Amino acid sequence: MKKIAWLWALWLMFAGVALANDLPDFTQLVEQHGAAVVNITSTQLVKQNPADMMQGVPDDMQDFFRRFMQPPGGNSGGNAARAPREVPVRSGGSGFIISPDGYIMTNAHVVAGADEVVVKLTDKREFRAKVIGADKASDVALIKINATNLPTVTIGNPKTLKVGEWVIAIGSPFGFENSVTAGIVSAKGRSLPSDNYVPFIQTDVAINPGNSGGPLFNMQGQVVGINSQILSDSGGYMGVSFAIPIDVAMNVADQLKQFGKVSRGRLGVVIQDVNAGNADAFGLAKPMGALVSQVDKGGPADKAGVLPGDVVLKYDGKPIERSTDLPQLVAATKPGTVATLDVWRNRASKQLTVTVGKLPDEKAAASKVGKAGKTPDKVGLTLSDLTDAQRSSLGSDQGVMVDSAQGEAARAGIQQGDIILAVSNTPVKSVAQFSQLLAQAKGKSLALLVKRGTDTVFVPLRLP
């Protein structure tokens, strides 16, 4: 009996070793490619009424908090104290470096509406990023930091991915930088109701808020997708995650870099799935293709001779298994390209030639501009020279008027209607002079002498 127990224990030990050896080891992959994954913090300035900010605060504490909501100089009375203020709202995400000179890919929703985007590398360096462009339809954005000799990822081919294959994600879930999670490919070519142009890769890799925009790696250390969405009732991971195939994302990024926007092809049809009943009615061997229910008059499909009731079986030689396959293929086609459509009409196959049209442009993400069409300077100020009447009321020829403040200026507390009297003890008499002093500024910050109402105070302003 003792001999049998000993042999059983020995077998379990060797079986455990064999099982451990069969499990994938991600350590080398993470060591080699983790440095090219970045943390992204987006800041958006949102106007908020001071009265709204006090909602929910007990009455006996409101006076205490109002002291910290006073404008520079302590003036808490009048309209200035009741005016809406820009409050910074921050959100986080991930991204990955695709070129040594600082181009980074992420999700469009990570940088949407941002007044400031900050990128943090694994070596703790931080850079302000410029949004080159963001495409809402594909949820892909391209940003740029001023740096060189950066580590980069290797781009893979998502078409070679197999369902059941191991993949890993690196990102910043809930702000925990460079977190690694692993899983398998659950499915390919998934279509979501809100996204018509992306054949998503479905995985069971743990993806949570903050992972958005991070890379999905295959076991060869190649990026095959951008982690973009999760399916969840709670807002957290529930085992169903979606990544944008990297070939789709790179096509978008190339267009954003070259043109600042994305051009997509258009046929001008309304389509639906072919179910078993439709397949039988139209004489199809099985339910497949995209059933055309409406054709835009004068559109590319109309000119090509497409009719309602046609079933598109192939687009430029590529089979259409589901109706959602067609918009993805057409959108990826350059407008003006001549393509072929294999359609099923009157129980027979027919081939048509179509010149692909162009979808209406979506406005690409761009830097915000100031009011009245003026462009803010590098610290976020839009200024104007004082009128003679304003100078007379001030009793001085010194100062420039703040028309709007955003970015660093807003964060410093500068508001519309303030008058900037001096820059680091140098009196300012015109916008041109202020711009010159700003351009010549050295160091990390400036001290602005600001007049608001009857109060005058120096406000420290951080330089970008």
Which comes out higher in pLDDT, residue 133 or 403? 133
Domain count, the chain: 4
C-beta separation of 156 from 220 below 8 A: yes
Query: Cα separation of 87 and 410, whole Å?
Result: 8
Whether residue 273 is contained in a domain is answered as: yes
Taking residues 215-222, what's their average pLDDT? 96
Interior angle at CA 187, CA 23 and CA 140, nearest 5: 105
Q: Are residues 436 and 387 in the same domain?
A: yes
Whether residue 17 is contained in a domain is answered as: no
Annotated catalytic residue within 33, 42, 91, 109: 109
Annotated catalytic residue within 138, 212, 228, 323: 212
For the ranges 84-88, 252-256, 305-309, 428-432, which has the lowest average pLDDT?
84-88
Tell whether the model's pLDDT for residue 367 goes beyond 50. Answer: no
Whether residue 21 is contained in a domain is answered as: no
Whether residue 427 is contained in a domain is answered as: yes
Annotated catalytic residue within 139, 310, 342, 377: 139
Contacts of 26 (CB under 8 A, 6+ apart): 168, 180, 182
Q: Are residues 174 and 253 in the same domain?
A: yes
Q: Are residues 86 and 106 in the same domain?
A: yes
CATH number, domain containing residue 233: 2.40.10.10
Q: Are residues 173 and 254 in the same domain?
A: yes
CATH number, domain containing residue 317: 2.30.42.10
For the ranges 68-77, 113-122, 354-363, 449-458, which has the lowest average pLDDT?
68-77
Q: Are residues 381 and 417 in the same domain?
A: yes
Tell whether the model's pLDDT for residue 108 goes beyond 90. Answer: yes
139 as an active site residue: the answer is yes
Q: Are residues 409 and 348 in the same domain?
A: no
Whether residue 443 is contained in a domain is answered as: yes
Whether residue 1 is contained in a domain is answered as: no
Mean pLDDT score across all residues of the chain: 83
Q: Are residues 384 and 456 in the same domain?
A: yes
Strand, helix or coil at 173? helix
pLDDT digits (tens, 9 = 90+) for 264-280: 999 998 888 888 888 88
Contacts of 110 (CB under 8 A, 6+ apart): 40, 42, 91, 93, 94, 95, 141, 212, 213
Whether residue 325 is contained in a domain is answered as: yes
Domain boundary among 235, 259, 283: 259
Domain boundary among 234, 259, 284: 259
Tell me which residue range forms the domain holding 387. 371-462
33 as an active site residue: the answer is no
Q: Are residues 245 and 334 in the same domain?
A: no
109 as an active site residue: the answer is yes
Q: Are residues 44 and 139 in the same domain?
A: yes
Quick one: pLDDT at residue 363? 44
The string over 369-383, giving b where at least 16 C-beta atoms fall within 10 Å of a residue's C-beta and e elsewhere, is: ebeeeeebbebbbbb
Tell whether the model's pLDDT for residue 161 goes beyond 80. Answer: yes
> In 3D, which of 158, 218, 231, 235 has the Cα closest to residue 192?
231
Domain boundary among 144, 177, 205: 144
